[in-house]
Amino acid sequence: MSHRNDVAPGTLAVEIGDGTVAVEYLDGRRVTYAEPARAVGGDVRCQPGKDVHVLVTDEAGTSGVLVYVNDRKTHDDILADSGVGRVLLSAGESTELFPGVRARVDGHAVVVESEGAVPGRVLVFEEDELGERAFELGAEG
């Protein structure tokens, strides 16, 4: 069995366009989240079994930190080289991803919460091989 650990995120370049969000990893690769983010005022309960990525940007929306929640597939070294962070949580556990942004596990679902004190944007991406959903926390729904 392979072991996975929490990995601290680095600061990544972010480009927010019309309905898309692109993140440039420290190793030069780029990922684009193409699903437009739906504004929500409260927290987001992600569907069980989905990959959950949380992006917190600066006020200008040009840089930020990206954290994978409960990703057990990606090797620690790959995450460290890319600048993407990871937290691993068990049922009932929670952690602060960024000041004012928390993730917790409720049953088999990841729940991401924002207190609204974040100076930038809080985006949550939920995806698997069948599709993607995106949310912006702290925005009026």
* Contact assessment for residue 52 and residue 46, using Cβ atoms and an 8 Å cutoff: yes
Query: Distance (Å, rounded) from C-alpha 89 to C-alpha 29?
Result: 27
* Per-residue pLDDT at 95: 96
pLDDT tens-digit profile of 9-44? 999 999 999 889 999 999 999 999 998 999 998 899
Structure tokens at 34: 């193409």
* Contact assessment for residue 19 and residue 132, using Cβ atoms and an 8 Å cutoff: no
> Which candidate, 133, 21, 31, 135, places its Cα nearest to that of 82?
31
pLDDT at residue 3 is higher than 70: no
E-assigned strand segments in the chain = 12-16, 21-24, 30-33, 38-40, 44-45, 51-57, 63-69, 85-87, 94-98, 101-106, 109-114, 122-128, 131-137
pLDDT tens-digit profile of 34-76? 989 999 988 999 999 999 999 999 999 999 999 999 998 998 8
* Contact assessment for residue 13 and residue 24, using Cβ atoms and an 8 Å cutoff: yes
Query: Distance (Å, rounded) from C-alpha 76 to C-alpha 73?
Result: 9
* Per-residue pLDDT at 1: 41
Using a pLDDT cut of 90, give the percent of the chain over it: 79
